Amino acid sequence: GENVEQHPSTLSVQEGDSAVIKCTYSDSASNYFPWYKQELGKGPQLIIDIRSNVGEKKDQRIAVTLNKTAKHFSLHITETQPEDSAVYFCAGYSSASKIIFGSGTRLSIRP
């Protein structure tokens, strides 16, 4: 069935440095890839998304890249700040009309 794999499961970076989270997907018909951020005690919140007709999208310090041939997509956070600490989930919109999530990455920003 459809599957989204996410790495790493935990990531610790120095404040001000960049963080990269990588995902792969199995459903070649997937055409929409959202990223969610989950803070403690809250539900996942959509932070950025990318569609299959573009290779890169940027929103301030956050960028996503998509390689459809390799079925890879990545989240890049630059100039990390303490408020970036959270669990991040990648996801793919499958041909079965539902969003399939990765296993999450716990990002910690060291002061």
Partner 1 sequence: EAGVTQFPSHSVIEKGQTVTLRCDPISGHDNLYWYRRVMGKEIKFLLHFVKESKQDESGMPNNRFLAERTGGTYSTLKVQPAELEDSGVYFCASSRDRGGIYGYTFGSGTRLTVV
- Count H helices and E strands in the chain, helices first: 0, 11
Distances (CA, A) of 93 to 31, 46, 58, 101: 6, 13, 20, 9
SS3 53: coil
Q: Please report whether residue 100 would count as binding partner 1 according to CB under 8 A.
A: yes
Question: Site map for partner 1, 4-23, x if CB under 8 A?
Answer: x-x-----------------
Asked if 12 contacts 20 with a C-beta cutoff of 8 angstroms, the reply is no
Our CB check for partner 1 shows the closer of 41 and 111 to be 41
Q: Please report whether residue 41 would count as binding partner 1 according to CB under 8 A.
A: yes
Q: Please report whether residue 99 would count as binding partner 1 according to CB under 8 A.
A: yes
C-alpha dihedral sign at 77, 41, 2, 7? positive
The stretch among 17-25, 64-72, 78-86, 93-101 that binds partner 1 (CB under 8 A) is 93-101
| Residues making contact with partner 1 (CB under 8 A) | 4, 6, 31-32, 34, 36, 41-46, 49, 89, 93, 96-104
